[in-house]
A and B are shown apart, each in its own frame.
Chain A
Amino acid sequence: MVDILLSGTTQGLIWAILALGVYVSYRVLDIADLTCEGCITLGASVTALLLWKEVNPWLAVLIAFLAGCIAGGITGVLHTKMKIPPILAGILTMISLYSINIHIMSIATEKQGTANLSLLRIDNLYTDFSSSKLGELLNMGKTNAALLIGVIFCVGIIAILYWFFGTELGSSIRATGNNEKMCRAQGIDTDLTKIIGLALSNGLIAVSGALLSQYQGYSDVNMGVGSIVIGLASIIIGEAIFARTKRFAIMLIGIVVGSVIYRLVVSLVIFSGMPSTDLKVMTAVVVIVALCLTSFASKVRAKSAKGGKGNV
């Protein structure tokens, strides 16, 4: 049981990076960006290709991030410069990425039409870490290394996001999501802030794909299916838990917690012994119940606060 929870947590941390990326577009910029489903596969495919070419895994993750930034930037340009509605712009990038991802994976195998690139028995971030001096010192297997690397990435990314959204550029991106017209009145180039925001969002999503491909041992052109739902569910669970906070850093931590909870719920549903066909509906039910409970709890809190102080 502990092992199931540990592996669920590890996966939750990897998916949390995606959720943080979705948070940047969906909450900070207030844009529903569907590039996500193609972008996580892009990150995975780029990483898989680079690992086949024996590039250092850390460098591969960085290049995957840049690839994701480019994809997000394209969505941004389609939306801002060509005036395509954001949902459609995201869909257009997503469907193009399907072909592009196949092309990327085909470079590795030198065969056209490669839809699945295996990473089995190829050195990756986790094996590198567990066989490194530090890994040996801590006596870590692949599972624990994956957990530790997940924590390192999440903490690092939260710190960077917290810093970045405090800078002038970051603040103007946040302001764009809050009130675009007001921003333009203040002289902010909102097209640019949107493009940068979307690039950052998809860069993070690609990093999630990069870690995921190494953890699961392959990149597959269909692996992004359903990822936007996972991202949104993580954000909403996180927001429900930390409903009262207005602090940005706590909010970001809440998303990571939300992602881990979502993954644990799926693990528990899978191994609770119910028929496998009911997996999706049961996952939805558990999330709905969690949301109802938290909204019920906050109502009760609000009521007692009102009764106690008389005026809120």
Chain B
Amino acid sequence: MKLKKLLTLTLAVLLCAIGTLTFASCGQKAYNLPIVCGETGMTEVCGVATYGVDYYALGVKAGDMAADILLNNADVSTMAVQSDPNPALYVNEEVAAEIGFTIPQSVLDRANATGTQKVTRETSAIVTDGADFTIGILQLVQHVALDQTNEGFQDQLSVRMKAANKTFRVLDENASNEQANNVTIATGFVAQNVDLIYAIATSSAQAAAEATAETDIPVLFNAVTNPVEAKLVASLEAPGANVSGVSDINPVALQVDLIGELLGKDDIKIGFLYTSAESNSVYQINLGIAECNAKGYSYVDKGIGDINDIQSAFIALKAEGVDAVYIPTDNTLANGVANVHSLNIGE
């Protein structure tokens, strides 16, 4: 008797489950919108193409700035903040096939041509004794992208130093993600009177800027998304003090242009999907809207409060009739990209 009850119960549960699943899959329709994300990691999951920031190239850019300051006496207060000069185009043909989107041949051709161009380090220019210049490097934490900006910086600076027949010593310090060490290292560099401080990540750059406030030691930062908001520089064009450097902001304007290129027409409507509580996302969306206005694209923006709002925001964008979706580099959406993708392909 008990067994019969149990069987009936199991059957009922199974039927319910199957029913719900069928209903859900009927109700769930595919949106098949081409998506462009702010960074390559998110694009690997749900995007069709994007321009990715190459952190090694950012390091090389900073290396050039350092060489200009040390070798050519360039004034750091007038050096404009740089960004990735040549972001790499990345396409995801897998996702494109899944949503039934054809990536134009012109985009595919360019994607295959680019890749990270490494500089060969001139090891003879980096010495430990009797160097012409001492460089203090302050990095916040061991992290792949930050390590690359460090490597690119030293590689490029060594090439420039070698060309000028000079040598330099590197004090390469890492705060190991303990911000108390930021101050210890930065003030230590000032005490040792280094010729230049290269600070990687926002809080490290701020600690270096504060420690050098009463000196004229130049500080170059890297991997800072918004140097103006971080008060490192007065403006991107004219920093105004002893601090300048390289921003790792993703090329939002280029990415918005890429949407136009992917769709192959100018009469388009872009949907911006982002987390309204993340200031970096809001910053990127404002850049994106500016580019839309410049190009004459129309747009809709949908800010989400948390990861559970993704579905309703996505449906709302579709209802507004957007042709493509742009997702900035955004922590919440980075966690929800798989969700975005399954919504998009209707699973």
Contacts of B279 in A (CB 8 A): 106, 109, 111-115
Give the Cβ gap from A55 to chain B, nearest Cβ, in Å: 18
Tell me if B192 and A4 are in contact (CB < 8 A): yes
A-contact 0/1 string along B187-205, CB 8 Å cutoff = 1101110000000001100
Produce 1/0 per residue, A129-157, CB < 8 A to B: 00000000000011100000000000000
Q: Interface size (A, Cβ < 8 Å)?
A: 45
Report Cα–Cα, A227/B183, bound state, in Å: 14
Residue of A nearest to B213 (CB): A142
Q: How far is the CB of A83 from chain B (nearest CB, A)?
A: 31
Minimal beta-carbon separation of A262 from chain B (angstroms): 10
Shortest Cβ distance from residue A180 to the other chain B in the assembled complex, whole angstroms: 34
Q: Which segment, of A59-67, A159-167, A265-273, faces chain B?
A: A265-273
If the complex has contacts A142-B213, A277-B142, are A270 and B185 also in contact, measured as CB distance less than 8 A? yes
Does B207 lie at the interface of the complex (its beta carbon under 8 Å from any beta carbon of A)?
A: yes
Query: Are B277 and A113 neighbours in the complex by a CB distance under 8 Å?
Result: yes
A290 located at the interface, meaning its Cβ lies under 8 Å from any Cβ of chain B in the complex: no
CB of B50 within 8 A of chain A? no
Q: Which residues of A contact B282 (CB under 8 A)?
A: 111-113
**Interface residues as binary, A10-47 with B (CB distance below 8 Å gives 1, 0 otherwise):** 01000100000000000000000000000000000000
Closest to B183 in A: A216
Is A225 within 8 A of B179, CB to CB?
yes
Contacts of B207 in A (CB 8 A): 216-218
Q: Does A279 lie within 8 Å of B209, measured CB to CB?
A: no
Q: Give CA–CA (A3, B214) in the complex, Å.
A: 14
Contacts A7-B187, A7-B188, A270-B185: A120 and B179 contacting too (C-beta < 8 A)? no
Q: How far is the CB of B232 from chain A (nearest CB, A)?
A: 7
Is A294 an interface residue, CB under 8 A from the partner? no
Q: Is A92 an interface residue (CB 8 A)?
A: no
Which residues of chain A are within 8 angstroms of B232 by Cβ–Cβ distance?
118, 120
**CB-based closest 10 A-B pairs:** A217-B210, A3-B191, A118-B231, A276-B174, A7-B187, A218-B206, A113-B277, A223-B179, A120-B231, A113-B278
29 A-B contacts (beta carbon < 8 Å): A1-B191, A4-B187, A7-B187, A7-B190, A11-B183, A11-B187, A112-B278, A113-B278, A116-B203, A118-B206, A120-B209, A120-B210, A120-B213, A142-B213, A212-B180, A212-B183, A216-B182, A217-B209, A218-B207, A220-B202, A222-B179, A223-B180, A223-B203, A226-B180, A227-B180, A266-B180, A270-B188, A271-B188, A276-B172
